[in-house]
Amino acid sequence: MVDQSKIRQTLFALRDEIEALRLRSAADQKPIALDQQSVGRLSRMDSMQVQAMDQAKDARRAIELKSIAAALTRLDEGEYGYCVSCGEAIAPARLEQSPASPFCVECAKN
């Protein structure tokens, strides 16, 4: 069986790392200034593209945080390590690679 205290520590560490990344990227998501005198149109478009990419990264991080929170809930309820779709045990190697994974390999394929 899985060492629950180790998994909990890993999930908390992942959560803290993602939260730190979200805080660092918050400055990059500020609105782009419309001042054409200091920034040319192409530079502004490039800044807008970088901003959009940062917003997409933040959205993915939010999904990861929800996944981690769900894994912690499953851990508290004694359901961690079992596929939420079919109920079968998730391979330990899969959980080691992706501790917040809610699905076994077969269900993840579908």
Share of the chain above pLDDT 90, in %: 60
pLDDT at 78: 93
pLDDT at 66: 97
pLDDT at 49: 85
pLDDT digits (tens, 9 = 90+) for 34-61: 555 555 666 777 877 888 888 899 999 9
pTM metric for this prediction? 0.77
Q: What is the mean pLDDT of the chain?
A: 86
pLDDT at 24: 82
Cβ–Cβ under 8 Å, residues 10 and 80: no
82 vs 110 pLDDT, higher one: 82
